[in-house]
Amino acid sequence: MNLAQIESGIVANVIQVDPTAVPNWAADWPELPDGVGIGWAWDGAVWAPPRGPASEQLLADAKAKAWQKLSEAICGARLALITDLPGQEMIYLAKEAEARAWITAEAPVLADYPLLAAEVGITAPDADALAQIWLNLSSNWRTAAAQLEARRMTVSAEIEAAGTLADIAAALSALNG
């Protein structure tokens, strides 16, 4: 049989004893029914399971974890589309600006466009083709970024509005589609 040491109405310790040889020091300890253990409450008549965190706290914790999963998913999707090097975003923006300036210039001089000049012959045979590639890549990135941002904002709003753990799971399921 199992006996419980009760401290401040809570099971603090459990011992297993032979019912015919209960130690004197545990003689007043109540017998534990199956499934009851440390942390359970005892009021002298009724056993109550341990209290968990408040449901509001559980929901808040689940939302925090969901936002973390959302951030990781969006970061992963973005990283699939870009080169992740320090300063690379600035280079992409500078390339786009040079490409736009090159395309709109009446008589561009390649020496005035250092990024184009550095890459001509590597990615494309001439500055016109290279500028068009950069503009196409910029357009493709904006399209993909808009879709990812819409998904991020939508899922974030759904997480914020979630009233249950099931609502949070449903919001996160959009990341798989």
What's the per-residue H, E or C state across 58-116? Answer: HHHHHHHHHHHHHHHHHHHHHHCCCCCCCCHHHHHHHHHHHHHHHHHCCCCCHHHCHHH
Instruction: Please tell me the distance from the alpha carbon of residue 11 to that of residue 36, in angstroms, as a whole number.
Output: 9
Quote the CA–CA distance of 23 and 149 in Å, as a whole number: 67
Task: Enter the pTM of the model.
Answer: 0.65
End-to-end CA distance of the chain: 54
> Tens digit of pLDDT for each residue in 98-147?
999 999 999 999 999 999 999 999 999 999 999 999 999 999 999 999 99
Task: Map out the domains of the chain as residue ranges.
Answer: 2-48, 55-176
